[in-house]
Amino acid sequence: MDTVSTGDIEKLLRVNELYINFYTYEGVVKAIDGVSFDIHPNETFALVGETGCGKSVTARAILRLIPTPPGKIEGGEILFNGVDLLKIPEKEMLEYRGKKISMIFQEPMTSLNPVFTVGDQLVETIALNQKVSKEEAYNIALKMLERVRIPDAENAMTKYPHEFSGGQRQRIVIAMALSCNPSLLIADEPTTALDVTVQAQIINLMNELQKNMGTSILLITHDLGVVAEMSDRVAVMYAGNIVELGTTSVIFEKRYHPYTQGLFNAIPVFGKGKQTRLEEIPGSVPNLLYPPPGCRFHPRCPHVMDICRKEKPELIELEPGHYVRCHLYR
């Protein structure tokens, strides 16, 4: 099933039919159930969905950061510039992790070591990954801090992470992640821990750096507002499946999949005045130990048909570049 191909546009990353299970005491959690997507050079691609939909697991699988056991990649390919990252030996992964592909996380404090200065950590990363001398690494680090607009960068190099605010820490982490000029930056909920005014600053910064450095971004988020601000294309995930994939403008305008529709109607939109009642999606996200048969959304779907209970729908290309996994559109 070669579904999500984008024709002639060259691909930086291609995830193809990825299956990941977690083997726990309670049973097998079928976390990722055949996920496929491409990321083009110089674009921001968003994976959006609720807790437990598999967006973070997918992102971590790209860097082979799934703890094994309990996790296991059961099948599929992750092609980065044509190389299958799931097939190369662990040692070769070091050429990718942090160099060609880097990652930033939700809570910046977890990615910074509290007992070393920011300068030490930046210089170490740069010296290790780019094989340059300490002095050169220092200069690159300084430039990166200026680039992410840390005030008084030279002084900041001598400070410890706790001396910075949450927003500044996330800037430092971004500086670290981009210091090696990666082709792909995986950003896992990069603004979720931040206040809105600071979130707006970080979104701006990331958009600007993306434009200037030509890095592709894989953005993981649950916030449709952040998706609208940052991404070129979006994949909506539900319970381990991509249910809809397309350009941000088409998804926000048309919303074919009943889950996408439910998700959009469930969020209050600011500035709309006293709104009509929010629509609810009944029930809650299924336990992936026992995923529903057929379409995994069928127990909550308002348009459920007999076939939905039995057969998993395929991704169908409804418009060029726009895919939906739903029996309604067969």
Q: What is the distance between the alpha carbons of residues 258 and 324, in angstroms, rounded to a whole number? A: 10
Which of 27, 92, 135, 267 forms a contact with other proteins (CB under 8 A)? 267
Beta carbons of 96 and 86 less than 8 angstroms apart:
no
Q: Which of 242, 248, 230 is nearest to 297 (CA)?
A: 242
- Binding track over 63-92 against other proteins, x by CB under 8 A: ------------------------------
Strand pairing of 71-80 and 233-238? unpaired
Please, where are the H alpha helices in the chain?
Answer: 55-62, 90-93, 108-111, 118-130, 134-147, 153-156, 166-178, 196-213, 224-230, 248-254, 258-266, 306-310
Nearer to other proteins, 274 or 330 (CB): 274
Minimum CB distance to other proteins, residue 319 (Å): 16
The set of residues, in sequence order, having a beta carbon less than 8 Å from that of 228 and lying 6+ positions away, is 248, 252
Which of 91, 131, 272, 330 forms a contact with other proteins (CB under 8 A)? 272
Does 166 engage in binding with other proteins (CB under 8 A)?
yes
Does 50 engage in binding with other proteins (CB under 8 A)?
yes
- Binding track over 111-150 against other proteins, x by CB under 8 A: ----------------------------------------
Please, where are the H alpha helices in 215-321?
Answer: 224-230, 248-254, 258-266, 306-310
Which of 74, 92, 280, 306 forms a contact with other proteins (CB under 8 A)? 280
Minimum CB distance to other proteins, residue 128 (Å): 30
Binding site for other proteins (CB under 8 A): 50-51, 165-168, 195-201, 203-204, 207, 222-229, 248-249, 252, 262-275, 277-282, 284-285
